[in-house]
Amino acid sequence: MSESSTANLRTRLREIIFGTDTRPGRAFDIALLVVIVASVVNLMLVSVAAIESRFGPVLHALEWLFTILFSIEYAVRIYAARRRWAYIRSFYGIIDLLSVLPLYLALILPSAHYFVAVRALRVMRIFRVLKLVRYANDANVLTRSLRHAQRKMQIFLGVLALVTVILGALMYVVEGPTHGFTSIPRSMYWAVVTITTVGYGDIAPATPAGQAIAGIAIMLGYALLAVTGGIITAELTNEISNERQLRQCPHCERSGHEIDAHYCKFCGGHLDKYEEEDPPADKEQAADRDKLD
Amino acid sequence: MSESSTANLRTRLREIIFGTDTRPGRAFDIALLVVIVASVVNLMLVSVAAIESRFGPVLHALEWLFTILFSIEYAVRIYAARRRWAYIRSFYGIIDLLSVLPLYLALILPSAHYFVAVRALRVMRIFRVLKLVRYANDANVLTRSLRHAQRKMQIFLGVLALVTVILGALMYVVEGPTHGFTSIPRSMYWAVVTITTVGYGDIAPATPAGQAIAGIAIMLGYALLAVTGGIITAELTNEISNERQLRQCPHCERSGHEIDAHYCKFCGGHLDKYEEEDPPADKEQAADRDKLD
Amino acid sequence: MSESSTANLRTRLREIIFGTDTRPGRAFDIALLVVIVASVVNLMLVSVAAIESRFGPVLHALEWLFTILFSIEYAVRIYAARRRWAYIRSFYGIIDLLSVLPLYLALILPSAHYFVAVRALRVMRIFRVLKLVRYANDANVLTRSLRHAQRKMQIFLGVLALVTVILGALMYVVEGPTHGFTSIPRSMYWAVVTITTVGYGDIAPATPAGQAIAGIAIMLGYALLAVTGGIITAELTNEISNERQLRQCPHCERSGHEIDAHYCKFCGGHLDKYEEEDPPADKEQAADRDKLD
Amino acid sequence: MSESSTANLRTRLREIIFGTDTRPGRAFDIALLVVIVASVVNLMLVSVAAIESRFGPVLHALEWLFTILFSIEYAVRIYAARRRWAYIRSFYGIIDLLSVLPLYLALILPSAHYFVAVRALRVMRIFRVLKLVRYANDANVLTRSLRHAQRKMQIFLGVLALVTVILGALMYVVEGPTHGFTSIPRSMYWAVVTITTVGYGDIAPATPAGQAIAGIAIMLGYALLAVTGGIITAELTNEISNERQLRQCPHCERSGHEIDAHYCKFCGGHLDKYEEEDPPADKEQAADRDKLD
């Protein structure tokens, strides 16, 4: 096979596997989506004892079929990717590998049981397909917003962790081992379950003093987290509003554009100058390609 | 009966049943509201064993009475509707049918028990009456906003589902069948109950490792959902604000109008040009008519 | 006593009881606050069996003391009020009556036990004192916002009630009496406890089908309520922002004033023309007086 | 040692301990962070019986090591602080003392058990280090916002407390001692656990009347708190937006600056005139110094 025909094959495969504009590309995405969902459902069914005892062989054969399909897909993705190492080390590259590796490892290692959780990670592959097919805009906005809000989420987690440690230590001292608060870590588990308002009730304060302190601590923690959440929402609102106001069309100089808009909604010109040389049709795809291959 | 008198009857019935501006139309709505609430309360009372054993015959007779009333109403609605098929296939048309069908089917089919849930759907009929009578504006804004936020809600559900599958598989592996996590589906039920912070406690991690992992997972999931909720609120705030700013009166060119406003609050002119030929008085009703008959 | 001295006494009592600007008025408010808190604490202590058995006579004597004090206060309030009927029928007038009535009724009626809940309503009297003393601004904003958001809260409650009825009927059918869902009302109790994410776990789905349906219903309900809450927050944000933008100083014509501001923050002029004849010092109090006496 | 060399030593120590700009200052902060985290983890491990029985002596020795290290740090901080009393009485000064005092008191007092909760407070020291090292901006914004939202949080807590007292008294009357509602305080503990949606289920209404009333009360309380939270978020959003709009650069007169910005993002000039004489490099640190020493 000549070098150019190999290059052609790679380009074609890349369009089908990574792209969404062509008909075969779209068909591939839909087929992949079906296979991913089927493989996750299969994983669930295997874990149900009543189903596994009746349909075990069929389900395990299906699991192997899905794994081989994903393995082929993974190999083809590496082959077709423009920048192979970039793909392998990318977020979705690692997810793709983790979708197939556990079953192969289970052949060698005895305690394959633990890999079920790793295999369930393949459900995240759905997001890649969805991102390209349907939820492109909204999901991008959400992803961008989440990246934007990452430090705010860390602060939220920090406040949560702080409350957990202090409340956990407090209740360990007040209630003590006789009522289930056998250690600070276990008491902190109770604190997490309580502060997030999950409240299983497997551990709960039983003495009047413990109930009084827990009651006050829950109120304070609840109000603190509610207001912290409110502050984060308020700041996000203003940041998004600010970003929109700052985003100005370089052609007509009007602002107020959505964060994920590529073109000016007033004059239709490119909002980002550096993208102007790209053909508009496959820009999204191009951006994706830049990231993955 | 001449054709024109039939047309007159239909128009009159339509005004009473679908309209809200005339006195008989309003009286009909209030009567309907009372009957719907009574029929839902009746449904509840039948299900209470102590009440059913004492008042059973009366309650069942009432159920038949309500069903016959709703059947007559359904027939008249079809007769009076401008576009009959459109009404039958509309959301409220189907709800109207589902309100009466189960009892008739119970005469033929033996396992009528399951239709109770279907009959309870008639509670949704309340919303039609309310929409026309009192909460018109607010409910419309909410409906519009919900339609607006539909994809955001799907994203929220997507994040929820993703966390559920991964957390479910993880805890199935960590805790295992001995502590109630007997299968991935059951483990996912636990994950839903936990991540939504319902936390029944019928299944809860019991091993230190399970409690540690669950504690961390709950914190992460809680923070993720809180921040996702915050982002959605922030985006809705900006979209509503933006929509209001973009809505400009074609007459006085001032903006800042509520999303559900029909007339300019500064000059009183029509905000939407295409509606200008409609007589203002029964526009809402006209819009409703366009949808239903 | 001459008529004018009676009028003087009434005016003076009014200043002390309803006002907050004079020193005796402030002292009265603080004394009242202490007595209310003491009487509520007393109510709690009486209910604890271990405390009641030891200090019963003292606590009951105190309860009588507080009731007599409140009775005198109530009588003086009626005497001093400018418009007596308006005070008696006002929200706080009724709360004042309900604070003292139960104990007198307990002398006549045998089943006094149930009046404890009515007596606990006296805790709401704290809010009157607080409103006048310290949280004046914030509480007013909150009260106004709550009145503003009243219909939104009704919609929230409507969505909650709708989900409750449908989910309750559904789970009654799916789970049935053997797992605690003995009737639709009880099933609805479960639905409320679940949808508000309280989740006691006293009733919980036990069959795989019930858990699957409950899991999906919880996710949908949770997302629906989270997004509904987000929409309400978003609309409130825009309404508050809008109100502020619309509020224009009649003197310097600049806008952006807080909802509860009385004076322009730029030029110091009255924001509301109709209040201009009032002396500024006791305007808040005057507004209060207008409402109560 | 001459007076000036002492002053030099103090200045140098101050730079290392309170500052973050110099290399030794940064190294000190990171070392301190590691020691604090290690000491908190140590505290947790001591409380686990299985670990304590095996590694008890090592862990207790480590606890003494950490306490001595913190004691030295505390002494040096007092020595180096510019204004010593201000530091001792400051928030972090008290936390620093509470981190070391319990262990010394445990030597004298017999019931040292209760000091574990006090010792856990040292986890708050992490925040000082974090504030200076990494989360400076975001944490400051959060702290400022929280101070800003302090009264709103008090209102939230007030609404929570009001609902708790009334709901607690109501359910005490309705359910009574036979179903766990043995006293108003215990009933209020149930109300807190319910209204914050924690819902352990250790106490839950068992009678149909109690479940009906609790169901309605939970719905009302939930909607009230959700809408109160929404109002607070809405007001915070507008306040932050307003603050940003009001913040005007004194040099170029453009507004829209972040709340925690020190310099104009358009012309780079000082936003606050009174800070203009400060050298920009160590302003944050200077502000910190002003507060602590």
d(CA A121, CA A103): 13
Q: Is residue D197 classed as helix, strand or coil in its secondary structure?
A: coil
Cβ(A120)–Cβ(B166) below 8 Å = yes
Longest distance between any two alpha carbons in chain D, whole Å? 83
CATH 3.30.70.920 fits A9-136, yes or no: no
What letter does residue C244 receive in the DSSP assignment?
H
**What is the rounded end-to-end Cα distance, in angstroms, of chain D?**
23
Counted across chains A and C, CB pairs separated by less than 8 A come out at 9
Interface test with A, best of C227, C233, C235 (most A CBs within 10 A): C233
C183 closest CB neighbour out of B47, B117, B142: B47
C240 closest CB neighbour out of D200, D229, D235: D235
- The answer to whether the complex's ipTM is over 0.85 is no
More confident residue, C265 or A85: A85
* pLDDT on residue C117: 65
pLDDT at C278 over 60: no
* pLDDT on residue A29: 77
CA-closest candidate to residue C232, choices B232, D243, A238: B232
* % of chain D at pLDDT higher than 90: 0
Look over chain C and give the mean of its residue pLDDT values, rounded to a whole number: 74
**Which residue is listed with tokens 């009737």?**
C183
* pLDDT on residue D275: 41
Interface test with A, best of B183, B192, B246 (most A CBs within 10 A): B183
d(CA B67, CA A203): 49
Kindly determine whether residue A135 and residue B154, on different chains, have CB atoms separated by under 8 Å: yes
Q: What is the pLDDT of residues D68-82, one digit of tens each?
A: 888 888 888 888 887
Q: Which chains lie within 8 Å of chain A at 3 or more CB pairs, if any?
A: B, C, D
Interface test with C, best of D175, D182, D183, D198 (most C CBs within 10 A): D183
Cβ(B293)–Cβ(B89) below 8 Å = no
Q: In this structure, which amino acid lies at residue D138? A: D
Confidence class of residue A284 from pLDDT cuts 50, 70 and 90? Answer: very low
d(CA B185, CA B164): 10
* pLDDT on residue A275: 41
**Which residue is listed with tokens 């820009």?**
A283
Q: How far is CA D244 from the centre of its chain?
A: 26
* pLDDT on residue C138: 52
pLDDT at B288 over 60: no
Interface test with B, best of A48, A119, A224, A236 (most B CBs within 10 A): A236
Q: What is the pLDDT of residues B256-282, one digit of tens each?
A: 665 556 666 666 666 665 444 334 444
pLDDT at D279 over 70: no
Counted across chains B and C, CB pairs separated by less than 8 A come out at 151
D31-35 mean pLDDT: 83
Q: What are phi and psi of C119, to 5 degrees?
A: -60, -35
* Cα dihedral value C277, C283, C287, C289, nearest 10: -110
B197 closest CB neighbour out of D197, D200, D237: D197
d(CA C171, CA C183): 10
Confidence class of residue B239 from pLDDT cuts 50, 70 and 90? Answer: confident
B188 closest CB neighbour out of C158, C206, C215: C215
Top-ranked range on mean pLDDT: pick from B230-244, D21-35, D174-188: D174-188
* pLDDT on residue D135: 46
Measure D137 CA to nearest chain B CA, in Å.
Answer: 19
Contacts of B239 in chain C (CB under 8 A): 234
* pLDDT on residue D290: 44
* pLDDT on residue B284: 43
Contacts of D138 in chain A (CB under 8 A): 151-152, 155
Rg (CA), chain A: 26
Q: Which chains lie within 8 Å of chain C at 3 or more CB pairs, if any?
A: A, B, D
Q: What is the pLDDT of residues B88-107, one digit of tens each?
A: 887 778 878 877 777 777 77
Answer whether B196 touches D (CB < 8 Å): no
Q: Out of B191-205, B240-254, B255-269, C273-287, pick the least confident.
A: C273-287
- Residues D118-146 as b or e (16 or more Cβ within 10 Å = b): bbbbbbbbbbbbbbbeebeebbebbeebb
Confidence class of residue B45 from pLDDT cuts 50, 70 and 90? Answer: confident
pLDDT at C62 over 80: yes
CB within 8 A of D122, min separation 6: which ones?
Answer: D36, D39, D40, D70, D95, D98, D99
Q: Which architecture does CATH list for C140-290?
A: Orthogonal Bundle (1.10)
Q: Out of B36-40, B247-251, C206-210, pick the least confident.
A: B247-251
Confidence class of residue D16 from pLDDT cuts 50, 70 and 90? Answer: confident
d(CA B293, CA B84): 6
Burial class, B140, CB count within 10 angstroms (exposed 0-12 / middle 13-18 / buried 19+): middle
Kindly determine whether residue A47 and residue B183, on different chains, have CB atoms separated by under 8 Å: yes
Rg (CA), chain D: 26
* pLDDT on residue C289: 44
Cβ under 8 Å to D: C residues 6-35: none
pLDDT at C279 over 50: no
Which long-range contacts (C-beta less than 8 Å, at least 24 apart) are formed by D208-211? D208/C185, D208/C186, D209/D174, D210/D171, D210/D174, D210/D175, D210/D179, D211/C185, D211/C186, D211/C189
Contacts of A223 in chain D (CB under 8 A): 153, 156-157, 160
* pLDDT on residue B167: 85
Answer whether B57 touches D (CB < 8 Å): no
D164-174 mean pLDDT: 83
D149 closest CB neighbour out of A170, A174, A231: A231
Q: Is residue C225 classed as helix, strand or coil in its secondary structure?
A: helix
Contacts of D124 in chain A (CB under 8 A): 162, 166
Answer whether C233 touches A (CB < 8 Å): yes
* pLDDT on residue B268: 66
The tokens describing B76, both together, are 């008249």
The tokens describing A250, both together, are 């370089």
Contacts of A233 in chain C (CB under 8 A): 233
The tokens describing A33, both together, are 């989506």
A237 closest CB neighbour out of C198, C199, C237: C237
Q: Is residue A271 classed as helix, strand or coil in its secondary structure?
A: coil
Model confidence, pTM: 0.78
The tokens describing B191, both together, are 């994950």
Look over chain A and give the mean of its residue pLDDT values, rounded to a whole number: 74
Q: Out of A18-27, A225-234, C96-105, D267-276, pick the least confident.
A: D267-276
- Ordered alpha helix ranges (H), chain A: 3-18, 23-47, 49-80, 84-89, 91-108, 115-120, 125-133, 136-148, 150-175, 184-195, 208-246, 283-292
D228-243 mean pLDDT: 78
Q: What is the pLDDT of residues B81-93, one digit of tens each?
A: 878 888 888 777 8
d(CA B119, CA B36): 11
Confidence class of residue C142 from pLDDT cuts 50, 70 and 90? Answer: low
Kindly determine whether residue A204 and residue D200, on different chains, have CB atoms separated by under 8 Å: yes
d(CA C40, CA D169): 10
* pLDDT on residue A78: 85
Kindly determine whether residue D230 and residue C236, on different chains, have CB atoms separated by under 8 Å: yes
C75-79 mean pLDDT: 85
CA-closest candidate to residue B147, choices C227, D287, C54: C227
Top-ranked range on mean pLDDT: pick from A13-17, B91-95, B165-169, D158-162: B165-169
Look over chain D and give the mean of its residue pLDDT values, rounded to a whole number: 74
pLDDT at A112 over 50: yes
Kindly determine whether residue D201 and residue B197, on different chains, have CB atoms separated by under 8 Å: no
B234 closest CB neighbour out of A121, A199, A240: A240
pLDDT at B287 over 50: no
Contacts of C117 in chain D (CB under 8 A): 166, 169-170, 172-174
pLDDT at A283 over 50: no
Look over chain B and give the mean of its residue pLDDT values, rounded to a whole number: 74
- Residue D90 has a CB neighbour count (10 Å cut-off) of 16
Answer whether D210 touches C (CB < 8 Å): no
Answer whether C202 touches D (CB < 8 Å): yes
CA-closest candidate to residue D126, choices D40, D25, D66: D40
C120 closest CB neighbour out of D165, D185, D215: D165
D88-106 mean pLDDT: 78
More confident residue, D241 or A202: A202
B26-43 mean pLDDT: 82
Kindly determine whether residue A155 and residue D138, on different chains, have CB atoms separated by under 8 Å: yes
Cβ under 8 Å to B: A residues 130-149: 130, 135, 138-139, 141-142, 145-146, 149
Burial class, C265, CB count within 10 angstroms (exposed 0-12 / middle 13-18 / buried 19+): middle
Confidence class of residue C112 from pLDDT cuts 50, 70 and 90? Answer: low
Strands (E), chain B: none
Confidence class of residue B196 from pLDDT cuts 50, 70 and 90? Answer: confident
pLDDT at B129 over 70: no
d(CA A166, CA D124): 9
* % of chain B at pLDDT higher than 90: 0
Cβ(A165)–Cβ(A185) below 8 Å = no
Confidence class of residue D2 from pLDDT cuts 50, 70 and 90? Answer: low
Closest residue in B to C155 (Cα–Cα): B139
Kindly determine whether residue A238 and residue D237, on different chains, have CB atoms separated by under 8 Å: yes
Domain definitions of chain D by residue range: 9-136, 140-290
For every residue of D101-127, DSSP letters joined together read HHHHHHHH-S-GGGHHHHHHGGGGHHH
Interface test with C, best of A48, A142, A203, A233 (most C CBs within 10 A): A233
d(CA B165, CA C47): 47
Cβ(B244)–Cβ(A256) below 8 Å = no
* pLDDT on residue C290: 44
A43-62 mean pLDDT: 84
B34-38 mean pLDDT: 85
D178-188 mean pLDDT: 85
Answer whether C238 touches A (CB < 8 Å): no
The tokens describing B274, both together, are 């295409």
d(CA D25, CA D20): 5
Closest residue in D to B48 (Cα–Cα): D208
Answer whether A228 touches D (CB < 8 Å): yes
Q: In this structure, which amino acid lies at residue C139? A: A
∠ Cα A66 A68 A70 (to 5°):
70
C240 closest CB neighbour out of D155, D238, D245: D238
Confidence class of residue A241 from pLDDT cuts 50, 70 and 90? Answer: confident
Q: In this structure, which amino acid lies at residue D245? A: Q
Q: 3-class secondary structure for C246-258?
A: HCECCCCCCECCC
